[in-house]
A and B are shown apart, each in its own frame.
Chain A
Amino acid sequence: MKLLLHTLPSVPLETEVICPDKFIGNSLDAIGAMTVMHGNQACILTDFFTLTDDGLDTIKVEGDLSKVKLIGSEMTQGKIIINGSVGAHLGALMTGGEILVTGNAEDWVGREMSGGRIVIKGNAGHLVGSGVRGSDTGIQGGEIIIHGNAKNEVGNGMRRGLIVIGGNSGDFTGVNMKAGTIMVLGQLGQRPGASMVRGTIFSTQAAQLLPTFTYNTTYKPTFLKRYLIYLKKLGFTIDDAYLNGKYQSWSGDSLEMNKGEILLFSE
């Protein structure tokens, strides 16, 4: 199924219906008549998109989608390919399947997801893999792979899963993290791991940590090499120095249970 944006929304367009689970078993006409919210106005999908049935199960979406929100929301299966950039809340609450974005993504990528995989080839906005404001739980499983940079609060409240940032991450990476793994191949922003309970934050660069983190040792964590090899298979370039190098291990946040860890490349 192909969707081509023909009318640029003037305000955010909420398109939870662009999801394999919603399309399966429906005719082209029925899909085109599905409701989308343009601001506070109910519209139908064909008001904004031209639909073409190419006979494939994969949903391909094209156009300037930077104001198109909630694509792949609650997705459990299948694949969505977005050629270009996409709006906020991509793959919110998804539990399975895969979303690939060739461009950038706005805020809240994979908000509260618990399975599946989201791949962003470009940059992502704030709150990747986080919970909504007022919720203390972010991503509970699955993988979010950002090849570029991400802004603040990556993995806020994260409980399980893997978030990879190929470039730099913003401030408060892993804030309130409960468990899981955040890997930043570039530079961490300020105050990573603030209030983290458990889990792992990794970076290839040195970082200024909060005083509530305590230095453990510098060593070669076997598990990290396993992860870095996995990232190589996902298409990241991993320098041999990172694969075979030593990492500073820090424990924190001591204001919480002090069971979290931050690993920073050392030599």
Chain B
Amino acid sequence: MLIKSTEIIDTFAEAFGMWGSRVIVTGETPKWAMAAARSMTGFATSVIGCKCEAGIEGLLTEDETLDGRPGVSILLFAGSAKGLANRLVERVGQCVMTCPTTACFNGLDVEETVNVGGKLRYFGDGYQSSKLLGDQRLWRIPVMEGEFFVDESFGIQKAVGGGNFLVLGEDLKITLVAVEAAVEAMQMQGVILPFPDGVVRSGSKPGSKYKALPASTNDAYCPSLRGRALHTELPEEVTCVLEIVIDGLDESVVKEAMRVGIMAAAREGIRQITAGNYGGNLGQYHLQLHELLRG
């Protein structure tokens, strides 16, 4: 399949079942809401090394948040419900509660919930108080600047992590332009791109010659190893490969993000777009590139 002059390889991205949550952070100003959001989504690129994957889903206006203040919507994913609950408590506690003026609300209206504010409340040392508004229990935790207002429970749901595609370009400049265009096109509700500004250069393969490592560099796509690696997937003209990884609240939104991303990245100078998989034996989701591009 060709899009413009870019060949789309007939392969699939192998994605995994994860657990996802949506966290709404608000602040007195957009700056402070974003400060907390950046902190909360920092060091959250891959579950392999960070125990979770997180990113900013979008910005929210005063009219879109529960407390009428500017906000940021964050998606956070982990491999298990328990792991996700732990990460939420850690990150809301360390990154949001600590940030001036912020409040933190659940953004997923689903059946399954985990306790977050109900655990953080103990920081209040007995001075905390709860409020019940409708069905929503919230905690007020006194802090030096005022109080931290946080939902007791946060919704979690089964999600999809590890959707991906690789952009194989003729040089660094054109490949960067292509992935930046893709990332911009992929800003949509329900997905995040957990790597720095949505792009990863250190794509990995499972396993390593070193026993302690669960993953290691994807040598088949490293241009500098074209002559050394046991196997290469790179056409001769390709000198740079960048990958975009997608986590989403369901399979359809991940596929849609991949579709618009691939469409945006395809251009002159991008030789191929392909996807990472492990032979189909590890992930529950096989996101076929040709199929999703045909719609």
Given contacts A222-B103, A222-B146, A222-B147, contact A230 B133 (CB under 8 A): yes
Contact mask A217-239 → B, CB, 8 Å, 1/0?
00111110111011000000000
- Distance from B151 Cβ to chain A, minimum over Cβ atoms (Å): 10
- Distance from A254 Cβ to chain B, minimum over Cβ atoms (Å): 15
Contact mask B53-79 → A, CB, 8 Å, 1/0?
000000000000011110000000000
Report the tally of A-B residue pairs with Cβ distances under 8 A.
Answer: 50
Please tell me if A79 contacts chain B, counting CB pairs below 8 Å: no
Contact mask B7-18 → A, CB, 8 Å, 1/0?
000000000000
In the complex, chain B residues 163-211 whose Cβ is within 8 Å of any chain A Cβ: none
Interchain residue pairs with CB less than 8 A apart (19): A141-B132, A160-B132, A161-B132, A200-B129, A200-B131, A219-B146, A220-B28, A222-B67, A222-B101, A223-B131, A223-B140, A223-B147, A223-B149, A226-B66, A226-B67, A226-B149, A227-B133, A229-B66, A230-B134
Q: Using Cβ atoms and an 8 Å threshold, which residues of chain A touch B241?
A: none
Closest B residue to A240 by CB, please name it. B68
Closest B residue to A221 by CB, please name it. B147
Bound CA span A101–B34, Å: 45
Q: Using Cβ atoms and an 8 Å threshold, which residues of chain B touch A220?
A: 28, 146
Among the listed B28, B132, B146, which residue makes an inter-chain contact with A221, where contact means beta carbons less than 8 Å apart? B146
- Distance from A110 Cβ to chain B, minimum over Cβ atoms (Å): 16
In the complex, chain A residues 153-186 whose Cβ is within 8 Å of any chain B Cβ: 160-162, 180-181
Please tell me if A60 contacts chain B, counting CB pairs below 8 Å: no
Please tell me if A198 contacts chain B, counting CB pairs below 8 Å: yes
Q: Using Cβ atoms and an 8 Å threshold, which residues of chain A touch B66?
A: 226, 229
Q: How large is the interface on B (under 10, 10 to 19, 20 to 34, 35 or more residues)?
A: 10 to 19
Among the listed A180, A200, A225, A227, which residue makes an inter-chain contact with B69, where contact means beta carbons less than 8 Å apart? A225
Please tell me if A4 contacts chain B, counting CB pairs below 8 Å: no
Please tell me if B238 contacts chain A, counting CB pairs below 8 Å: no
| Contacts A222-B146, A223-B138, A229-B66 supplied; 5 other A-B pairs, CB < 8 Å | A141-B132, A221-B146, A225-B67, A225-B69, A230-B134
Please tell me if A44 contacts chain B, counting CB pairs below 8 Å: no
Q: Using Cβ atoms and an 8 Å threshold, which residues of chain A touch B146?
A: 219-222
Q: How large is the interface on A (under 10, 10 to 19, 20 to 34, 35 or more residues)?
A: 20 to 34
Closest A residue to B136 by CB, please name it. A226
In the complex, chain A residues 210-267 whose Cβ is within 8 Å of any chain B Cβ: 219-223, 225-227, 229-230, 243, 259, 261
Q: Using Cβ atoms and an 8 Å threshold, which residues of chain A touch B147?
A: 221-223
Contact mask B107-143 → A, CB, 8 Å, 1/0?
0000000000000000000000101111000101000
- Distance from B223 Cβ to chain A, minimum over Cβ atoms (Å): 51
Closest B residue to A216 by CB, please name it. B142
- Evaluate contact between B149 and A198: CB separation under 8 angstroms: no
Among the listed B26, B28, B101, B129, which residue makes an inter-chain contact with A198, where contact means beta carbons less than 8 Å apart? B129
Closest B residue to A141 by CB, please name it. B132
Bound CA span A202–B160, Å: 45
Q: Using Cβ atoms and an 8 Å threshold, which residues of chain B touch A181?
A: 131
Q: Using Cβ atoms and an 8 Å threshold, which residues of chain A touch B132?
A: 141, 160-162, 180
Bound CA span A62–B196, Å: 65
